[in-house]
């Protein structure tokens, strides 16, 4: 056999092998699951169930039978505060309850004694509230004057005759009559105006820069005593941050007592 014949025969053999290899069937990839078969699974609530292999042999249908768990809670509603959020005006159980009362007089508050006791001179809403014993003597009922007028309706009934005015005011000094003391703090500089109205008894008002011990004469810087139950008024220069003492007392001889309204303002 010639060399050429041998080469041709070898090439023919290689070609036949190539055709034979190319005609072999392709290897089928192995499936992860058998389509249509059911497999074990667990639901979201951990109950047992089954899921069916899909036609692609790789994915599964839903786990069944599974029941929905309790519906999720609704999103937080801002209109309802959390239990531990302070609500102004909430009675609480004492202590530092928030803006009012917290024992510190904040701008606009008439008073703040740090408690919610009624008729002790300051209410739970930080407004002046005079009881039978509050303001009977020094240091007096605390009144804080800002931009608005402070109005207090009260009485001298139930109080004690602690003071007598010195010098006399229009012939009267309040001896024998119960009195009320107000510690008035200015929170702006200007002319302080103190006025009474709707009084049921003859009365007078007087003002001092210091508060006197009970049972003593009350040396005043100014006073007002109009005959009868007429309204009384005082006006004086006030300095921001300074406290002044105003006394409402009987304005005639003998025991004089009753109800009245008093206002404090710095226009």
Query: Please, which pLDDT band fits residue 41 given cuts at 50, 70 and 90?
Result: confident
pLDDT at residue 2 tops 50:
yes
Q: Tens digits of per-residue pLDDT, 233-243?
A: 999 999 999 99
Long-range contacts from 130-134, C-beta under 8 angstroms, 24+ separation:
130/154, 130/155, 130/180, 132/157, 132/158, 132/159, 133/158, 133/159
Highest mean pLDDT among 46-50, 124-128, 225-229: 124-128
Percent of the chain with pLDDT strictly greater than 70: 76
**Does the structure show a pLDDT above 60 at 64?**
yes
Could you state, in order of their start, the residue ranges of all structural domains in the chain? 32-70, 121-265
Mean pLDDT (whole number) for 18-30: 49
Instruction: Count CB neighbours of 63 within 10 A.
Output: 18
Please determine, for residue 78, whether its predicted confidence score (pLDDT) is greater than 50: no
Q: What average pLDDT is seen over the chain?
A: 82
Q: What is the pLDDT of residue 80?
A: 44
Find out if CATH 2.60.120.380 is the number for domain 121-265.
yes
Residue 5 or residue 263, greater confidence? 263
**Residue range 147-199, pLDDT digits in tens:** 999 999 999 999 999 999 999 999 999 999 999 999 999 999 999 999 999 99
DSSP annotation of 125: T
Mean pLDDT to the nearest integer, 125-136: 87
Taking residues 122-134, what's their average pLDDT? 89
For residue 90, pLDDT beyond 50: no
Note whether 175 and 217 are within 8 A (CB): no
The model's pLDDT over 46-56, given as tens digits with 9 standing for 90+, comes to 778 788 889 88
pLDDT at 264: 99
* pLDDT-wise least confident of 67-76, 96-105, 128-137, 171-180: 67-76
Would you state the pLDDT for residue 147? 96
pLDDT class of 96 with cuts at 50, 70, 90: very low
pLDDT value of position 227: 85
Predicted confidence at residue 66, as pLDDT, reads: 77
This prediction has a pTM of 0.63
Cα gap 109→116, rounded to integer Å: 14
pLDDT at 1 over 60: no
Is the C-alpha dihedral spanning 256, 259, 264, 267 positive or negative? negative
Whose structure tokens read 């008894």? 201
């Amino acid at each position: 056999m010639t060399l050429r014949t041998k080469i041709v025969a070898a090439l023919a053999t290689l070609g036949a092998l190539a055709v034979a290899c190319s005609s072999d069937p392709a290897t089928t990839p192995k499936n992860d699951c058998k389509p249509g078969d059911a497999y074990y699974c667990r639901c979201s609530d951990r109950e047992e169930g089954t899921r069916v292999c899909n036609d692609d042999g790789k994915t599964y249908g839903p786990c069944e039978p599974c029941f929905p768990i309790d519906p999720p809670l609704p999103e937080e509603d801002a209109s309802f505060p959390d239990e531990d959020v302070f609500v102004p005006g909430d009675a609480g159980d004492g202590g530092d309850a928030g803006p009012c009362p917290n024992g510190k007089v904040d701008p606009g508050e008439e008073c703040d004694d740090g408690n919610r006791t009624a008729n002790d001179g300051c209410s739970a809403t930080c407004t002046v509230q005079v009881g039978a014993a509050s303001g009977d003597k020094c240091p007096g009922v605390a009144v804080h004057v800002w931009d608005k007028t402070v109005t207090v309706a009260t009485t001298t009934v139930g109080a004690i005759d602690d003071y007598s005015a010195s010098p006399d005011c229009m012939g009267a000094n309040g001896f024998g009559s119960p009195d009320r003391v107000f510690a008035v703090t200015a929170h702006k500089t200007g002319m302080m105006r103190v006025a009474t109205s709707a009084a049921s008894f003859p009365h007078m008002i007087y003002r001092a820069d210091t508060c006197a011990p009970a049972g003593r004469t009350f040396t005043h810087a100014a006073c007002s005593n109009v005959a009868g139950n007429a309204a009384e008024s005082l006006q004086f220069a006030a300095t921001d941050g300074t406290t002044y003492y105003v006394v409402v007392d009987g304005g005639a001889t003998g025991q004089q007592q009753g109800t009245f309204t008093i206002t404090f303002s710095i226009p």
